[in-house]
Amino acid sequence: MKDLMDVTTQATKGMAEDLAREFEVTLSRMYEILSKDNPIPKSKRLIRAVSHCDRSDDKYPVKLIKADFDALFSELLGDQMSKEIDCALLHAELTDVIKARLEKKTKAERLNECREAISILNDEIAFLEK
């Protein structure tokens, strides 16, 4: 059973067959990877543990992990990070967050709307900082 509050569930919607081919696994195994064997929550738990065990003042180990992930996402997103965000899209995404709350949508739906808005805001920040 997929967890509707999990970002992986939202991000991979409709991709299971393609991902199974990419990973060279059966479709049922892909669903296991996307649910109980999902490496993303495990990675988050490990990064949190590194942060808790790190005794340095500057949190260098966590910053190192973040830098590696930032480089990966920069590589994957490429030019998308340097484009100006359409004002109508920015407005729509932020409005959707408020609308979901006013309409008392489920926690999972609200989280998804927030994540989509954060993604657009991160793109806007990346554009402004370049």
Cβ proximity of 102 and 112 under 8 Å: no
Question: What pTM does this model have?
Answer: 0.64
Q: If pLDDT is split at 50, 70 and 90, which confidence band does 42 have?
A: very high
Where in the chain are the domains? 1-37, 49-80, 83-130
Cβ proximity of 109 and 66 under 8 Å: no
Dihedral (Cα; 31, 35, 36, 38), 10-degree rounding: 100
pLDDT of 48 higher than 80: yes
Task: Return the structure tokens found at 43.
Answer: 């990675």
Q: If pLDDT is split at 50, 70 and 90, which confidence band does 104 have?
A: very high
The percent of residues above 90 in pLDDT, for the chain, comes to 59
